[in-house]
């Protein structure tokens, strides 16, 4: 009887290049793959556009396959987007807030229907992701942000980038004061301390899910979308934080806590603690277009 021989794939040689699934060309440098510029600017632009199309179309297809896909399609039809290509054209030629207006119409239509909340959220999440991808790629917006000089890794290196703008709503002092008490002294933009967590447990802003809080251990902020939750008609952003310890190559949680961040501080938290640009943009997009956040601004806006 012949035995099958399984051979381990050889590591790529130094300097080797490869085209990744996201359309970028990368070069092997040490143990990392570094993005390199290949082709003309036009060719690179076409590659990025093709990737954005594939991603947006995937989410679009998922949205249409949900139980509320027919409602989503009806809204798009009424707004002049009879198919995916027509939706792209509408994003390209429409105003800078066209994606937001489309999403709002879909949210209102789906919310008015009878059905399970989970099915509605699935449809809204998928079409929302599709609209974000199309907006980021095709919506033409003037670059009015301030350019600032940024030092490079070497002292002689300097380059320019757009200054990060955090657009936070102007709120009434009473609303901020009320929300501040709920946070147990945590500024939201800064480091989370165990003392603040214990105060939030007393005010019911936080809930201990498992384990025991250790004041000597640091708190790990959410990194993935599944560690965050946002209800369309809610009044807070739910986050999951934890304290951990390492055993050999494994990391185990010693304490898990969920915290409900009031809308007064929700956007500031996302801007300062969520490193993934995609996750951050997705949650800010959903937050600003939710019924709960709109109601909150009507009550608390200065």
**For each successive 10 residues of the chain (302 residues), what is the average pLDDT?**
50 70 62 56 63 89 90 91 90 83 92 90 92 83 47 60 56 84 89 93 94 92 91 92 84 91 92 88 88 87 69
The pLDDT, as a whole number, for residue 251 is 82
87 shares its domain with 194: no
Q: State the total domains in the chain.
A: 2
Residue whose C-alpha is closest to residue 65's, from 126, 7, 156, 140: 126
The pLDDT, as a whole number, for residue 60 is 92
- What is the three-class DSSP state of 206? strand
Domain assignment of residue 5, yes or no: no
CB-based burial label for 183 (10 Å; 0-12, 13-18, 19+): buried
The pLDDT, as a whole number, for residue 59 is 92
Domain of residue 89, residue span: 41-138
Phi, psi for 282 (deg, rounded to 5):
-65, -45
277 shares its domain with 207: yes
**b/e map of 5-43 (b: 16 or more CB within 10 Å)?**
eeeeeeeeeeeeeeeeeeebbbbbeeeebeeeeeeeeee
Phi, psi for 24 (deg, rounded to 5):
-85, 150
191 shares its domain with 292: yes
User: Does residue 302 contact residue 172 with C-beta atoms inside 8 Å?
Assistant: yes
* The pair of three-digit structure tokens given for residue 7, joined into one six-digit string: 């051979």
63 shares its domain with 118: yes
276 shares its domain with 206: yes
Q: 138, 161, 190 — which closes off a domain?
A: 138
198 shares its domain with 268: yes
69 shares its domain with 114: yes
74 shares its domain with 182: no
The pLDDT, as a whole number, for residue 124 is 93
Domain assignment of residue 288, yes or no: yes
114 shares its domain with 57: yes
Look at the pTM and tell me if it is higher than 0.75: no
Domain assignment of residue 281, yes or no: yes
């Amino acid at each position: 009887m012949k035995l099958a021989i399984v051979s381990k794939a050889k590591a790529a040689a130094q300097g080797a290049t490869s085209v990744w699934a996201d359309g970028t060309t990368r070069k092997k440098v040490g143990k990392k793959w570094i993005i390199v510029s290949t082709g003309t600017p036009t060719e690179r632009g076409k590659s990025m556009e093709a990737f954005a199309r594939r991603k947006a179309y995937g989410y679009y297809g998922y949205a249409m396959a949900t139980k509320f896909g027919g409602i989503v399609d009806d809204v798009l039809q009424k707004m002049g987007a009879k198919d995916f290509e027509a939706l792209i054209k509408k994003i390209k030629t429409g105003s800078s807030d066209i994606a937001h207006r489309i999403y709002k119409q879909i949210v209102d239509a789906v919310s008015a229907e009878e059905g399970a909340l989970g099915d509605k959220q699935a449809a809204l999440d998928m079409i929302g992701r599709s609209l974000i991808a199309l907006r980021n790629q095709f919506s033409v917006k003037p670059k009015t942000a301030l350019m600032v000089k940024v030092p490079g890794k070497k002292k002689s290196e300097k380059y320019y980038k757009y200054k990060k703008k955090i657009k936070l709503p102007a709120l009434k002092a009473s609303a901020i004061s009320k929300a501040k008490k709920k946070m147990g002294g945590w500024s939201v933009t800064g480091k989370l301390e165990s003392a603040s967590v214990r105060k939030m447990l007393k005010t019911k802003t936080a809930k201990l899910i498992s384990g025991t809080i250790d004041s000597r251990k640091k708190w790990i902020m959410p990194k993935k979308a599944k560690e965050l939750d946002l209800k369309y008609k809610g009044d807070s952003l739910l986050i999951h934080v934890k304290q951990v310890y390492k055993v050999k190559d494994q990391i185990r949680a010693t304490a898990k806590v969920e915290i409900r961040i009031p809308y007064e501080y929700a956007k500031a938290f996302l801007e300062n603690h969520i490193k993934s640009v995609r996750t951050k943009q997705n949650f800010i997009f959903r937050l600003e277009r939710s019924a709960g956040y709109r109601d909150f601004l009507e009550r608390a806006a200065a």
